[in-house]
Structure 1
């Protein structure tokens, strides 16, 4: 049909053809031609014809080898008056091909033989831009040139060739950036998780967002990915916080305007605020309690180092500033000092104040010299997202800072309880960093707890000098705490940590406050009483109240077979071993704390331990017995859940393990 219509128009337009109908109307030739072409389009160029033309144009774009055939086809379109619709369809086809190419190269979707997939974290925009400039634009320009009129409008085309060409080229560039934004938005969750290895891919997004302005679409896609893949009960709080930090860093690099970050950070902050263990995880990471998650501790040290460098730079500039003489130092009469200017000079060297969610709605900050207006597309968390301090952004999740400071105090107490030999240099250093972050006043209790460690070392040295007795008291080194300044879960037995969760402690000892009160065996109790008497003689009107649910004991246990085991355990576990050693009189397992040697097996029951130690909770006794089962000193009696046999030698698997560990220690290179 297209060929027939083209032949009709050629015959009607030819002045040498008898069938020419336009020669009779030379003054209205163009108007009649346009009217006839419009009538033809309305009658025959329906949806099916448009779809067929689109498919042919798509084939023309994809397979452009037969240039002569394509030129003839475009010429027929021009003659039949279909060049305008063909250009519109061609533009759509080009846009579709650009989107297809981006998905194939970036996301490995709908691959063709000529497509090559790039790694996720690598830059794709330079490759796609080169493909667009070398292949798509020349092809589009050639077809477009054939579709444009060559006679009547040639003068207009010659007048503005550059602007017209720039327009359609910019549209193709825009389509490339738009497709790249939408494709990268679906990968943005993975790119954030891989940051900083994915910086090249994020640079693609940064450049594309500048041209395509798809920030709202990118933010919506990323927010949906966060809700589906991260903000659910199955995700660990540590992973959510790590994603939060990577999100802030990567999105600031990708979108300096802060629009995308402001749109996605608020739901993440609300979810973290609702989790009960968020404070504990943040504090543990800041103080380095969790060796597998030191991200916030590294961020804290990095921010502290940057602040010190800024202070040193400011101090060096101040020293290099020339001093004014006394004669010129005085200000002239009527002169007003520019306080605003001096305030602005000091601002870069002051720490940014944490902003809470309630303050985030303020659009004005009169003390910020680098203030910029809030973007129209920015979300409710825009002011929070502009903070350069990631730690402040995390701590400002909670409107009440007292809860966060309380968690800091509990974490500090748990660390100090685990300190051996009164060596708390790491805790001192952490406290100094935290005081710079949260202020001297907020960290007052931590200062007192650290002072208790120093004072305990001095008192312990004095007590051992005064005490003339040897034995157990010589191996007792308590931490004397000021009860009013230590957290309740530390000073009261049976009280759990914050949010009802037990705070994990390093080493074999149980968590602070997880064991109820119990009575010590005479061996340990007499040592405590002797130590307390010596302390009272040096500290008049004071006496010690022992917290037996805390602390650790180092034991060297000798079995009947002559095997020795070095064990570090809690006080209730050591007391349970003392009960086991007295179950059979003289023939009992022994340690360095009691004389004698292990002579044969014995049976100890759960009731024996509970009665000897006056335990109120069966769980405490069972946990202590299970500990010695794991060590290899006890073995459960078959058929009796509460009875255990004392072993005269270690089980073979444990003996082999200990021997292997000893060999590994000797073979380890220095």
Structure 2
């Protein structure tokens, strides 16, 4: 609402003519106190016949009563009627044309109407007065009802776990107010799924065709403002996309709203370089509930259960107006379809699968195999050929490893290898070569020799890759680490020594200088070593 000062700056009071008759009339107009003019004022009214001067007086009076009305508080209809009577009283004495009189009356009625919209309890016996102002009684009643409903509905803003459908059912105004609130809150409603399902059902129950575009616009605007920007990490955007799928299918199971609302999110994820990697890693995760995308793992299991239970005679076709890529609540398929073809997805899947296999302990193979079988229906058979060979390599290596140790008990049980069919595995980054400790090298040579005896005509080429499991005792506290070989052999230099320099590590391990520094820096970050001077490292405590 504008202030009295703002109003006065727009509707300025015209200057009063300097003629004495006009001044006398003007003085009475602004202080009549609902009393008749004096004889001197009546004489001035009779004398004043100039049309221009009379019009200026009228404009001055209208401007003044507009300003005065700002300070008048109205609580009931009777006071409004008195206000009109008071403002129109002087018009009974002025010599005015019909047009001039109507001009004042329209202005007064306008003031009354503006006051009327903030006044309640006026209907019934006062309908005749309200109608005389040119106001639709029903419209005013509806206005007040809508205002009351809106105030009541707004009390429930940000209450995600409550539905108010029953509260407003049968009342179009209340339903409209509730829908308007939910449309304005749609971004937060989606972000709070599944707690916000009651709010989504409110939208589903009352949304009309003409409101759907408002819902889409509100959601896209707030999504771009709050999440689709460089400051949000990819995992959070993927999580939000899954919430969007569930939320909009709750409102519109046909998927039409979902298609319109999800396009900006899909486009943004398509441009993020780490989207596929994050999705694949989440799908192959085998036990990290702290991962924000752990829900994808559950979704994968759930979809397999659905496929099994759907092998019945009960079948429901997709809606006739469903989109070409319509999938009922298939989160995984929706994520995979972000990309134009599955080739990129398959490449990343094989890459991550290889990393998982090479870092698995023996008991973990079963879990990752379960993931593979859950994913298999989503790909062509040929897409996963390499993965099948990789899995077979890991299984065969386990069997072969047991045979090697059985035939040569001098080989430590802690030394084992994966024998890989390199043509089927992703191209691995070639590790820098370095000299292994003599005791380890003897073990490896024995292993290679035994392998050749078991696999006639074949030999293995050992690369400096894989994982070394270490247990480091620092003043009585044992900590377990799984690290790359270079890091393991770098920390081994401190066995019985207090200080080691980068130059010494390079010389003794015949290792690249950058790799030596990276390996020693790693142990500093683990608070096992500290750099006491440039290029010289010391153990934090005795190892």
TM interval, shorter chain, is: 0.7 to 0.9
Query: Residues 424 and 45 (structure 1 numbering): CA distance in 2 closer, same or farther, change over 3 Å?
Result: farther
Matching residue of 1:32: none
Return the match for 1:373 from 316, 321, 336: 321
Query: Residues 580 and 5 (structure 1 numbering): CA distance in 2 closer, same or farther, change over 3 Å?
Result: closer
- By how many angstroms is 1:266 displaced? 0.8
TM-score by length of 1: 0.61
Contact 2:117 2:144 in 1 (8 A): yes
Correspondence 1:49 to 2:109: yes
TM-score by length of 2: 0.74
Contact 2:296 2:332 in 1 (8 A): yes
Aligned CA RMSD, in angstroms, stands at 3.2
The whole-number CA distance in structure 2 between the counterparts of 1:519 and 1:643 is: 21
How do residues 608-619 of structure 1 correspond to structure 2 at under 5 angstroms?
A: 608-618=504-514
How do residues 179-578 of structure 1 correspond to structure 2 at under 5 angstroms?
A: 179-210=177-208, 213-288=210-285, 291=289, 292=291, 293-311=293-311, 313-314=312-313, 348=315, 369-373=317-321, 382-385=323-326, 387-421=328-362, 423-467=364-408, 469-470=410-411, 473-488=412-427, 491-493=428-430, 516-555=432-471, 557=472, 567-578=481-492
Equivalent residues, number? 450
Contact 1:285 1:297 in 2 (8 A): yes
User: What secondary structure sits across from 2:207 in the alignment?
Assistant: helix
User: What secondary structure sits across from 1:604 in the alignment?
Assistant: strand
Q: Deviations over 1:526-554 (max 9, x none)?
A: 22122112111222232212221322233
Q: Deviations over 1:407-447 (max 9, x none)?
A: 11111111111112375111111111111222322111111
User: What secondary structure sits across from 1:106 in the alignment?
Assistant: coil
Contact 1:579 1:609 in 2 (8 A): yes
Q: Which runs of 5+ in 2 are unaligned?
A: 1-79, 86-97
Matching residue of 1:649: 542
Query: Residues 531 and 176 (structure 1 numbering): CA distance in 2 closer, same or farther, change over 3 Å?
Result: same
User: What secondary structure sits across from 1:214 in the alignment?
Assistant: helix
The whole-number CA distance in structure 1 between the counterparts of 2:540 and 2:84 is: 104
Q: Deviations over 1:629-653 (max 9, x none)?
A: 456654432xx12112346637xxx
Q: Which runs of 5+ in 1 are unaligned?
A: 7-37, 108-117, 134-172, 315-344, 349-367, 375-381, 495-515, 582-587, 589-600, 651-670
The whole-number CA distance in structure 1 between the counterparts of 2:128 and 2:477 is: 100
How do residues 620-659 of structure 1 correspond to structure 2 at under 5 angstroms?
A: 620-629=515-524, 634-637=529-532, 640-646=533-539, 649=542
How do residues 597-612 of structure 1 correspond to structure 2 at under 5 angstroms?
A: 601-612=497-508
- By how many angstroms is 1:204 displaced? 1.2
How do residues 116-155 of structure 1 correspond to structure 2 at under 5 angstroms?
A: 119-128=159-168
Q: Deviations over 1:555-603 (max 9, x none)?
A: 4x567x777665543311221133334xxxxxx2xxxxxxxxxxxx532
Matching residue of 2:64: none
Query: Residues 432 and 603 (structure 1 numbering): CA distance in 2 closer, same or farther, change over 3 Å?
Result: same
Return the match for 1:74 from 127, 137, 159: 127
Matching residue of 1:175: 173
User: What secondary structure sits across from 2:221 in the alignment?
Assistant: helix
Contact 2:160 2:192 in 1 (8 A): no
Contact 1:178 1:214 in 2 (8 A): no
User: What secondary structure sits across from 2:159 in the alignment?
Assistant: coil
The whole-number CA distance in structure 1 between the counterparts of 2:478 and 2:320 is: 70
Query: Residues 269 and 566 (structure 1 numbering): CA distance in 2 closer, same or farther, change over 3 Å?
Result: closer
Return the match for 2:155 from 97, 101, 105: 105
